[in-house]
Chains A and B, each alone.
Chain A
Amino acid sequence: MKRIALLSLASLFFAGSTFAQDDLLADLKSEDSAKIKENITIATFKSTRIINMQSVEMTGAGNLQFMIIHHFGSLWDDKEGGSNFGRLFGINSGVANTYMSFDYTPVRWLNLGIGFAGFSTLEGTAKFKILRQQSGVHNYPVSVVWVSQANFNSSKSFESPNDLYWNRLSYVHQLLIARKFSNKFSLQFIPSMIHRNIVAYGIENAHNIYSLGIGGRIKLREKTALTFEYSRQLNMYENVIDKTGEIVSYSPNLFSFGYDWDTGGHIFQFFLTNSLFATNVAQLSVNPVKDNIGQWSLGFNLNRSYSVKHKVKTQ
């Protein structure tokens, strides 16, 4: 009798398994083909900038992005005394640097941009996506992007010996390596190199300035996040002879703290940073030493993207 019981149990199991095969959906779910082929990590950062520095994010393919970066005046000036409140901590000071840029992504891995950086300075940017963090068919733990910016100073007051045009150029090259560790936390490592075509004659002055940076994001809620970035200059920051022949020391550090807010159409990034400059070239090479936090400045990035080339075809 035991045997019969066992057999009937077995038969029940068999019958059960044939019934289980009848559940078409469960069948589909268990198949590998039902899983997305390339699970590409998206939104490592909210914007194409962490704060001042470029992030691994790129404007979507076929999309045009318009971006405004604004650095207000210094937070607090001891000489100004009580009128600092009227200056609204630099926002109402009348001193500000504005950076305006357009960038377009013709193909998924390439982004080209032009920026207007103030003081007659123009900037061209090329961003190349080398690796996308993903799982599935391929397994890559990090996203890697190369970004190069060329800065052209067209200002009449720019001192250019023999008035050579290439004297007016300087460049930033950065390798961005980022990982989205979780939905809440992303980190990016940024080695940078700056090349200035012209520098004043001097012992410490260098055409190439190297720095190492790190940036990150901690998401607070779905549409808000805290961000930070820090970059350390490795050479040239002390006792440098500037263009007027004076000996100056620059700050080797670039610090910024920010708050990202995604409204659904625009992305706002509010920040506090120790640089008044709006361009990466200036921020990472000739950032003046700040004695106290009163000399830091508030600012914001604002961007909006439009789809120019439609890739989704209507049936």
Chain B
Amino acid sequence: MRKGQNHNTLKQLQVNLKNFTMKKILLVIILFFAAFAGLHAQTYKTRDGNIYFNPNKNQNNKEYSALSKEATAVLKVETSEVALLVPMKSFHFNNALLEEHFNENYLHTNKYPNGTYKGKLIGFDKAMLTKDGEYKISSEGRMELHGVTKDFKSPVLLTVKGGVATFKCDFPVKAADYNIEIPELVKPKLMESTPLNATISFKMN
């Protein structure tokens, strides 16, 4: 009887100990994750990225030019990850009627309010941010526009100067790829794929 009891308490102790160590291990794991997230995830954010485009075939004609100054972007230095979001309604055009068409008929901005990009910088190193200069890198990821998500790949020019890192990217967007319907009457005036120009600057301190 006594032996059995002893055995029982020992077992309980073992279980308690096991519980205790499990708890400790879990705690350590949680702390580790928290620390990792907090300490090592150096991220930069901006809220006034610029995106410009002119869909006109004659690039000297600025009638249809549009610019958004409200692109939000985030860069995670450690993993070279980037994300960008632009509210479509923040694009303002030279021609107000075209702005209306852009929102109402082409991009349906009430239904699809944002254009987004999520991807990685290729050839990017965090040492670049500490030294002034120009670096030719590229980015690969996925872009969402008008409810359609497509693979994206483009060269990027990184300029670091005086604590500001500016990413410049010129890339084409083909309206048909994103199910954007352009009326036949307007089509002859527009480029088949519109060149876009994104300028995103991060202040690093």
Contact = CB atoms under 8 A, between A and B. Distances in A.
A15 B185 CA distance: 54
Interface string A287-315: 00000000000000000011100111111
A160 interface: no
Contacts of B72: 28, 31, 33-34
Nearest to A31: B72
Given A3-B19, A25-B85, A223-B105, A33 B47 contact: yes
A183 interface: yes
Contact of B34 (A18, A27, A63): A18
Contact of A264 (B22, B67, B118, B185): B185
A4 B19 contact: yes
Contacts of A7: 22-23, 26
B50 A305 contact: no
A305 B101 CA distance: 13
Contact of A312 (B34, B43, B94, B199): B94
A35 B95 CA distance: 24
A38 to B, nearest CB: 9
Main secondary structure of the interface of B (DSSP, over half): mixed
Nearest to A59: B96
Given A7-B23, A14-B33, A25-B118, A63 B81 contact: no
A120 to B, nearest CB: 32
B103 to A, nearest CB: 6
B95 A305 contact: yes
Q: Which of A8, A59, A61, A265 has the most CB of B within 10 A?
A: A265
B185 A313 contact: no
A263 B30 contact: no
Interface string A236-280: 000000000000000000000000001111010000000000000
A103 to B, nearest CB: 12
A315 B198 CA distance: 10
B181 to A, nearest CB: 9
Contacts of A60: 95-97, 99
A24 interface: yes
Contacts of B94: 62, 307, 310-312
Q: On chain A, which size bracket covers the interface?
A: 35 or more
Nearest to B72: A34
A60 to B, nearest CB: 2
B114 interface: yes
A24 B74 contact: yes
Contacts of A162: none
Given A3-B19, A312-B62, A315-B199, A43 B47 contact: no
Contacts, number: 130
B197 interface: yes
A35 B94 CA distance: 23
Given A264-B101, A310-B65, A36 B85 contact: no
Interface in B59-116: 62-63, 65-67, 70, 72-74, 76, 81-85, 87, 89-90, 92-97, 99-101, 103-105, 110, 113-114, 116
A39 B89 contact: yes
- Among A37, A42, A267, A306, the most chain B Cβ lie within 10 Å of the Cβ of A42
Contact of B63 (A15, A42, A307): A307
A25 B29 CA distance: 26
B183 A264 contact: yes
Contacts of B73: 28
A197 interface: no
B176 interface: no
Contact of A265 (B34, B96, B185, B199): B185
Contacts of B1: none
B139 to A, nearest CB: 13
B67 A313 contact: yes
A79 interface: no
B131 to A, nearest CB: 25
- Which of A27, A264, A314 has most chain B Cβ within 10 Å? A264
Contact of B66 (A3, A18, A312): A312
Contact of A315 (B87, B104, B185, B197): B197
Given A24-B76, A27-B74, A36 B89 contact: yes
A25 B104 contact: no
A156 interface: no
B129 to A, nearest CB: 17
Contacts of B114: 29, 34
A222 interface: yes
6 contacts: A43-B104, A63-B97, A265-B185, A306-B95, A312-B93, A314-B52
Interface of A: 3-4, 7-8, 10-11, 14-15, 18, 21, 24-25, 27-29, 31, 33-37, 39-40, 42-43, 59-63, 183, 222-223, 262-265, 267, 305-307, 310-315
